[in-house]
């Protein structure tokens, strides 16, 4: 099945990690803006309190970059992103791949970009966590961690907004072994039709 996708991904290698880069299309970026705006407006209309975790970025910007990370991973995995607009947020995960749930974290701070972190361990209920970084329309998929490994390895960190529970990127599984394991567990090929 050969088709040209409006986005592209490729592998990159550095001396200590393998990542995937996903280049999102102009349409993806516009759709992400639309979804983020709709979600933020719904939160305001329901008087959902914001949880300000970053003095340098607005709530909208944090949500937008987070959704770009989800969208980039969804494109790489060949699954549909969650476009829903829900007042209460997601169900504790961002994507579903076969029987597995995935939570995507896309930190934007200079210090936090190299950490997969959650605000509390109870808020990480997905089977797998994935760390992404975003630069304009390029999503870098840095690595993944299984829920149990996160609980075993997490460290308490405070970057100025209270305690966070975090694992550094260096302790995450690299992308290829992570995807191979998911592929085997779910019995299908991931992203092969989109490789360039």
> Is-contact 124 118, C-beta < 8 A?
yes
Is pLDDT of 35 > 70?
yes
Collapsed DSSP state (helix, strand, coil) of residue 16: coil
Q: Which of 126, 16, 17, 28 lies closest to 76, judged by CA? A: 28
Is pLDDT of 174 > 90?
no
Residues contacting residue 57 through CB under 8 Å, at least 6 positions apart: 65, 108
* Share of residues in the chain with pLDDT > 70 (%): 80
State the DSSP H helix or E strand holding residue 162, giving kind and residue range, or none if neither: none
Residues contacting residue 14 through CB under 8 Å, at least 6 positions apart: none
> Is-contact 165 118, C-beta < 8 A?
yes
Is pLDDT of 196 > 80?
no
CA distances from 189 to 45, 181, 186 (A): 42, 11, 9
CA distances from 174 to 13, 27, 101, 132 (A): 10, 29, 18, 12
Pick 15 or 84 by higher pLDDT: 84
Handedness of CA 171, 62, 81, 73 (dihedral sign): negative
Average pLDDT over residues 138-151: 95
- The pLDDT, as a whole number, for residue 72 is 95
Q: Which of 106, 105, 104, 110 lies closest to 56, judged by CA? A: 110
Q: pTM (2 decimals)?
A: 0.84
Is pLDDT of 125 > 50?
yes
Average pLDDT over residues 44-52: 77
pLDDT band at 161 (very low <50, low <70, confident <90, very high): confident
- The pLDDT, as a whole number, for residue 1 is 28
Is pLDDT of 66 > 80?
yes
How far from the centroid of its chain's Cα atoms is residue 48's Cα? 22
Is pLDDT of 194 > 70?
no
């Amino acid at each position: 099945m050969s088709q040209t996708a409006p986005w592209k991904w490729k592998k990159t290698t550095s001396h200590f990690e393998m990542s995937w880069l996903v280049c999102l299309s102009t349409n993806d970026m516009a759709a992400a803006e639309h979804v983020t705006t709709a979600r933020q407006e719904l939160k305001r209309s329901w008087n959902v309190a914001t949880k300000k975790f970053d003095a340098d970025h607005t709530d909208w910007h944090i949500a937008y970059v987070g959704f770009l990370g989800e969208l980039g991973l969804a494109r790489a995995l060949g699954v549909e992103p969650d476009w829903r607009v829900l007042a209460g947020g997601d169900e504790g995960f961002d994507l579903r791949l076969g029987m597995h749930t995935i939570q995507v974290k896309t930190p934007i701070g200079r210090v936090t970009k190299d950490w997969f972190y959650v605000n509390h361990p109870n808020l990480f209920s997905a089977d797998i966590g994935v760390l992404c970084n975003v630069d304009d329309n390029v999503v870098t998929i840095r690595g993944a961690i299984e829920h149990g490994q996160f609980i075993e390895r997490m460290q308490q960190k405070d970057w100025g907004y209270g305690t966070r529970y975090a694992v550094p990127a260096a302790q995450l599984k690299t992308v290829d072994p992570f995807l191979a394991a998911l592929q085997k567990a779910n019995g299908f090929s991931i992203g092969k039709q989109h490789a360039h």
